[in-house]
Chains A and B, each alone.
Chain A
Amino acid sequence: MPSVTIDGQTFEFEGRPGLLQFCLQHGLEVPHFCYHPAMSAPANCRQCLVDVGTPEMDRETRQPRLDEAGNPVIRFFPKLQTSCTMEITDGMVVKSHRSSEAVERAQKDNLELLLINHPLDCPICDQAGHCPLQIQAYKYGPEGSRFEFEKVNKPKHIPLGPQVMLDGERCINCTRCVRFTTEISESHQLTIIERGVRNYPMTPPGVTFDEPYSMNVIDICPVGALTSRDSRFKARIWEMSRTASVTTGGANGNNCYYWVKDNQIMKVTPRDNPSVNEYWLPDEERLDYHRFNDDRPEGPAIGKIKTDWNAAYDAAASLLKDADASRVVFMGSAYATVEDNYLLMKLAASLGADAPTYIPHIEEGHGDDWLRTDDRSPNREGCERLGMMPAGDSLAARLNAGEVDVLYVLEEDPVAAGLATTEQLANVRVILHAYNTTNQTMPAADVFLPAATVVETVGTFVNHKGHAQRVRPAKAIRGMNRTLMMEVGKSRADLHGTPFDRWHDESNLVDCQPGWVSLPAVAIRLGHAMDYRGPKYIMHEIADSIDAFDGATYAAMGEQGVRLEDVGAAV
């Protein structure tokens, strides 16, 4: 197999890998700015320079020339090469900054050039703390600048569009944002204008940078030139903890990080997952976090009166116990996890009631065959795999005919969905698990059980392509912390437990419970034991008992999720 020697270490390779990507994949850091694995390599930042040589070939024998010691003679390129555009060939010898003083010097000088007109306003820059330019200037840069003239003043705080703010002075013209709009989103809304020291990215006149994926340029910007108008100046990166999870604004299950400060979600950024969303996330799913912070209920209630959890469970259980099972309607949810819907199905079955249905949330024309889908709920596929049927018009008919005594709603809003009106529900006892006080069924609720949202629970969502993924608690709720859930380690290395992590902060704790806590609490009061040690074991049971989830254990899903048919689940 062909091999390459990088800093004295020999690696075997297949195909024609790019040198920079190969180094990064083998844990060898090479500083770079403009290179991004999903886009073309323009080699314009000049930061990834390395010294590259290839074996000298004898023209007649077509064999490598050997020196006296029998080693191949390596002929180095006369100048340093950009590793992002260099293809690895057999016998290639590469010297990075770790083994070549020339490379180290070149990288240092290049950073000095990049920083000539950079404002160095890190103390007020949102990118500070996770800024490739800042990090690399510390690691590889010069100790000072020899440039003692006034820096070029470029346009600052220019809104390129509704979501993205430009600071032209911070830009190093890597063109990642321009390449994103030409190669990835193909909106063609950005370009580099002017030339020389005057250039910076801009929309052409008359164009607004308003494409539905515009905020991705904020993530890929290696400096603070492009920042989010929504979250800038709200929190420094080191004040937040981040949790790997998935978004719930659509059916694609885009992988994301939820960033938390003081138990409030501050922003949502994409998390790489080649089989779901690669590196990208649509704007709508980044801005869809306020519902986790705002309009949250104060606690469980019976009627309109606030109560404690035990009393609320007792009230729910007694409503169900007193009712005729054939006159009880259970409603699951495409917003709730597979585990919670499964427990609801078990609860309904144990009472002898009809199987729960779910409400589909299809918005025709919303999807774009990429990361946005017509389906605006995260777990419709999961509901269908559990065997749940979509709720039809029959509910309204049954309500009008007076055939329903108790309506049990798990994390749904039948009134907002148009399946029932509060008048129709006036004579029905409604038990409602809900996320927000904006839930329109809430006025009709007899027992109100605040539900944990996706950022406060543990569970599984199945995206529209059958990719099962776990969600993890990003923020704490009252009465339960993450370590109790046994889901998150306490070590620092997992990016959660920093000293600045606000898990120990008592502020903004919402008094709610995940379905896998509240549903068993109701069930046990009805004499049906649901004795699970946690959602992980619920999922084990689902994987064991339902063919469509065969093999879908937490271990199989891991961080990247799993395509259900790949682990043997029935389609």
Chain B
Amino acid sequence: MADFIKNPVVELPERNPAPSFPASELVFTDAEKAQIAEYVERYPTADGAIMRALWLAQEKFGYLPPDVIKLAAEEVGMPYAKAYGVATFYTQYYKKKMGAHVLDVCTCFSCQICGGYDMLHYLENKLGIHKGETTEDGQFSIQEVECLGACGSAPMLQVTNGSYVHNLTTDKVDALIDALREGKSWPFESVTLPQDEDDLGGNRRTDVTATETYQTPPASETIA
């Protein structure tokens, strides 16, 4: 049903949405303004700072409705239209209110052939929502996203623009949901190449405890 391939419909965004925040809340503090000014300094043109400004705004407001995008664009000093185009391009910018944990399931090429859609559909069934939706308790949102650059450990998902969960299986999805429900965060995993395991004594990073090795099992084994 939510499958874009079977029902490829692109919805028109609300063209004249009501304000999401009262005008009194829709402001940056002096510290945030100074931070954005510092971002602007880093790039040859002001437009370059919009990515960071949007990120800052998303952390402040929780998500990026059009009026927040406009606020960020004005603070950076670039056209609102262009900033809006940037914000809609990236799935990491949330254009609507999301759950406490956003599960970005990759269904791009490598993940897709290793069972990305199976993981997505398992997650949808487990949480009782479709991708793009949020559970009633406001805990989980699911998004289908394009490549997150971890093809070696496909299929994978990302938790709330944070840690990656590699080499997904249904068991691992269950464990992830349980952990998040209990208020634990999923640890950063350092994924190494198999030959590194053998030749170099495993994980070469010393600052992380969770490690995993890339595996390329047949898809049938991956999907329990």
Contacts and interface: CB of A to CB of B under 8 A. Distances in A.
Contact of A196 (B12, B70, B81, B146): B146
B10 A153 contact: yes
Given A189-B81, A195-B89, A203 B10 contact: no
A182 B45 CA distance: 15
Contacts of A181: 81
A194 B91 CA distance: 9
Given A149-B8, A198-B10, A205-B17, 17 more contacts: A152-B8, A152-B9, A153-B8, A153-B9, A153-B10, A158-B12, A181-B81, A188-B79, A193-B13, A193-B88, A193-B89, A194-B88, A196-B146, A197-B10, A204-B66, A204-B70, A206-B16
A32 B90 CA distance: 29
A181 B10 CA distance: 24
B84 A191 contact: yes
A410 interface: no
Contacts of A205: 13-17, 66, 84
B39 interface: no
A207 interface: yes
Interface in A280-335: none
A176 to B, nearest CB: 15
A284 to B, nearest CB: 23
Nearest to A151: B8
Contacts of B81: 181, 188-191, 203-204, 207
A155 B82 contact: no
Q: Which 6 A-B pairs have the closest CB atoms?
A: A188-B79, A191-B85, A204-B84, A205-B66, A155-B12, A191-B81
A152 B9 CA distance: 6
A153 to B, nearest CB: 5
Contacts of A197: 8, 10
Nearest to B85: A191
Contact of B17 (A152, A168, A198, A206): A206
A190 B70 CA distance: 14
B40 interface: no
Interface string B1-20: 00001111111111111000
Contacts of A198: 10
A188 B15 CA distance: 16
20 contacts: A149-B8, A150-B7, A150-B8, A152-B8, A155-B12, A158-B12, A182-B82, A193-B89, A194-B10, A195-B89, A196-B146, A197-B8, A198-B10, A200-B10, A203-B15, A204-B69, A204-B70, A205-B14, A205-B17, A206-B70
Contacts, number: 76
Contacts of B69: 204
Contacts of B117: none
A202 interface: yes
B7 to A, nearest CB: 8
A154 interface: yes
A202 B8 CA distance: 19
A177 to B, nearest CB: 11
A387 B33 CA distance: 61
Given A155-B10, A200-B10, A191 B82 contact: yes
A353 interface: no
A23 interface: no
B186 interface: no
A362 interface: no
A332 B214 CA distance: 87
B10 A168 contact: yes
Contacts of A204: 66, 69-70, 80-81, 83-85
A206 B5 CA distance: 31
Contacts of A155: 10-12
B80 A207 contact: yes
A198 B12 CA distance: 10
A149 B10 CA distance: 16
B89 A188 contact: no
A158 B90 CA distance: 24
B80 A202 contact: no
Contacts of A168: 10
Contacts of B9: 152-153
B6 to A, nearest CB: 8
Contact of A192 (B12, B67, B70, B85): B85
Interface string B65-95: 0110110000000011111110011100000
Contacts of B14: 205
Contacts of B70: 204, 206
Nearest to A186: B79
B132 to A, nearest CB: 12
B10 A154 contact: yes
Interface in B36-52: none
Contacts of B146: 195-196
Nearest to A117: B8
A151 B5 CA distance: 9
A220 to B, nearest CB: 17
Between B81, B83, B146, the greatest number of chain A beta carbons within 10 A of the residue's beta carbon is seen for B81
- Count chain B CB atoms within 10 A of each CB in A181, A189, A191, A202 and give the residue with the most: A191
Contacts of B79: 182, 188
A126 B12 CA distance: 23
Contacts of A192: 85
Nearest to A190: B81
Contacts of B80: 188, 204, 207
Contacts of B7: 150
A425 B83 CA distance: 61
Nearest to A204: B84
Interface in A144-176: 149-155, 158, 168
A33 B6 CA distance: 30
A438 B23 CA distance: 49
A198 B146 CA distance: 13
A152 B81 CA distance: 24
B64 to A, nearest CB: 12
A492 to B, nearest CB: 44
A562 to B, nearest CB: 39
Nearest to A166: B12
A202 B10 contact: no
Nearest to B81: A191
A168 B11 CA distance: 11
B10 A152 contact: yes
Contacts of B13: 193, 202, 205
Nearest to B14: A205
Interface in A181-240: 181-182, 188-198, 200, 202-207
